Structure 1
Amino acid sequence: MIIDCHAHIVDATDHTLDEILARADRAGIDRICISSLGRRAWDHLPSVERLIEADEDVCEAVAKHPDRFIGAVYISADHVEKSLELLDKSIANGPCRMLKWWISQLADDPRLNPIVERCIELDVPILAHTWTKATGNHPNESTCWHVVNMARRYPEMKIWMAHCGGLWEESARVVQHCANVCMDISGGEPEDGIVDCLLRHIGPERIFYGSDIPGRSFVVQMSKVLSSNADESAKRMILGESVRRWLHV
């Protein structure tokens, strides 16, 4: 089974979802973990209304295609009570299986603590946007160090670092001793050697294939895995088995 652990939807219309699934079928992808950052502009500091519409769209997409989509609840530390409410509504008592945060706060922001604690209670993994820009990060854009700080604060939590942290070699070294941190390979350029580097530091059980569609493509990001020196067993784990175990799907 191939699972894309990192994808976005812009709405839950049949046209949008059918197009995603048609492309996934051509790439041989069985299931897709989806989040929404809102229907219009992707605000760096989402309002409560934007969190609600993102939740509505993801839940609708999962309801329409429960065998294909795995939903993530989008939250913000600026709206902790609403985030906890959405977490309980759509994960504890709904169809979603994971949580997503973006750049409205750093990954080690203490305002996230009650949200992380609720995720631990529910055994829910967290997908954390992580990046390092040559031109400088957004003020609330996390690096690998912010993710590791949170992971060490809560060793019981399950968190995966999106985009290999941007600087994948440094990020792999930083997280190698944090067993509760996994890394997805979504986004960025399909550079040779990414997967081989991660394998040396953290092993296939902590590496997840992801695309970051619609900004990237399924197959281009998959080439990072297929062109690596990983053996077939490791490739199967990276392409789906590892994240399937984390999500219990």
Structure 2
Amino acid sequence: MFIDFSSRPPGPAFAGNASHLANYRRIYRKTESEVASASGDDALAEYLDTYSRLGASRVVLKARDVRSTFGFRIANADVAEFCRTHGERFIGFAGVDPHRGDAAVAEFEHAIRELGLRGLNIQGFEHQLAIDDERLYPLYEKCIELDVPVNIHCGTNFSTHTSMTYGAPIALDRVMIDFPALRVCASPPGWPWVHELLAVAWRHPNVWIGTLAMRPRLMTKPHSGYEPLLQYGCTVLQDRMIFGSAYPMMPVEKALNEFEALPIPDAVRRKWLHDNAADFLGIAAG
């Protein structure tokens, strides 16, 4: 049993081939090429079967709205419809455009109260906003009011149309000082500022770390920069590490197999794979 905190279903409503993300396709060419090559209904059937066969209890899908900066979105309504159609295994996070001010806050509230989405997704590099930009603050306030968590992109990005500094995790420290009740999953896990993100999470008990969009085996590879995640994730932060495949950037089964091979105690492994995400999402651990 596991929870996949990051997945993008096949289909035109979830297409990830926006022009500002073209460099991602270069970076992840090898692992994306290992994803099943079926198309249309066959691709969706394979996607759904994969999670059923592997025993996923929940799968998190994330909307995005970056129309002000890059003219691109994965719509809240489409994410909500997918979750309604395919059952409680799928949980949707809303995406809104913070450059739209009060309208974005209202859209976010509608997505939670009316569409049934369960959190907020902030991709700062696509919004061209740092994590602590005050244009995001009304959305953080609304998360607390609605009692839903937020996923915040943390670490470098591979789009050459925007700065990598938007993901610097030190900015998350200021946000948590200002909003200590905010429940945040910082994902990906902060590279090349992994130590910085670990320090922020250690300081703030409402910060989780999503180990997604990376090869799990890199946590055991010397000089990769990811090794501290394993050290701290098995000790002081063992209750706040969350697994995600970032499918289709990496095949789900391959990500799980690499994770299972890590030298992690079984009790801690269950936390990373399931219980920590369940806690973050506010669902029964089972």
| TM-score, length of structure 1 as denominator length | 0.85
Q: Which runs of 5+ in 2 are unaligned?
A: 15-39, 221-226
Q: Paired residue for 1:206, among 240, 244, 252?
A: 240
Instruction: Give 5+ residue unaligned stretches, structure 1.
Output: none
Q: How does 1:139-178 map to 2 (within 5 A)?
A: 139=163, 141-167=166-192, 168-178=194-204
**TM-aligned CA deviation for residue 3 of structure 1:** 0.7
Pick closer, same or farther for the CA change 1:91–1:17 going to 2, 3 Å: farther
Per the alignment, residue 64 of structure 2 pairs with 37
Q: Note the C-alpha offset of 1:229.
A: 2.7
Alignment-derived partner of residue 89 in structure 2? 68
Letter in 2 for 1:34: L
Question: 1:77 & 1:37 partners in 2: Cα distance?
Answer: 11
Read off the aligned partner of 1:192 and give its amino acid letter: M
Candidates 248, 267, 270, aligned match of 1:233:
267
Counterparts in 2 of 1:30-179, with a 5 A limit? 30-37=57-64, 45-47=69-71, 50-51=72-73, 54-102=75-123, 103=125, 104=127, 105-132=129-156, 138-139=162-163, 141-167=166-192, 168-179=194-205
Give the residue type in structure 2 aligned to 1:33. Answer: V
Answer with 1 or 2: which has the greater Rg: 2
**Cα-Cα RMSD:** 2.7
Mapped partners of 2:67, 2:249: distance in 1: 16
Q: Which amino acid aligns with 1:156?
A: A
Does the 8 Å contact 1:98/1:124 carry over to 2?
A: yes
What residue number does 1:25 align with? 52
Structure 1 residues 83 and 197: CA distance shift in structure 2, 3 A = farther
Aligned residues of 1:185 and 1:221 also touching (Cα < 8 A): no
What whole-Å deviation, never above 9, does each CA across 1:23-66 have from its counterpart, x for those lacking one?
2234332220001337xxx868255xx55x51121011111023
Structure 1 residues 153 and 83: alpha-carbon distance in aligned structure 2, compared to 1, 3 A threshold: same
- State the alpha-carbon separation in 1 of the partners of residues 115 and 104 from structure 2: 14
Provide the aligned length of Structure 1 versus Structure 2.
243
Contact 1:169/1:197 (CA < 8 Å) preserved in 2?
Answer: no
Contact 1:198 1:207 in 2 (8 A): no
- Aligned partner of 1:8 in structure 2 is 8
Equivalent position SS for 2:4: strand
Q: Is the 8 A contact 1:5 1:243 kept in 2?
A: yes
Q: CA deviation at 1:14?
A: 5.6
Find the aligned partners of 1:198 and 1:82 in 2 and give their Cα distance. 40
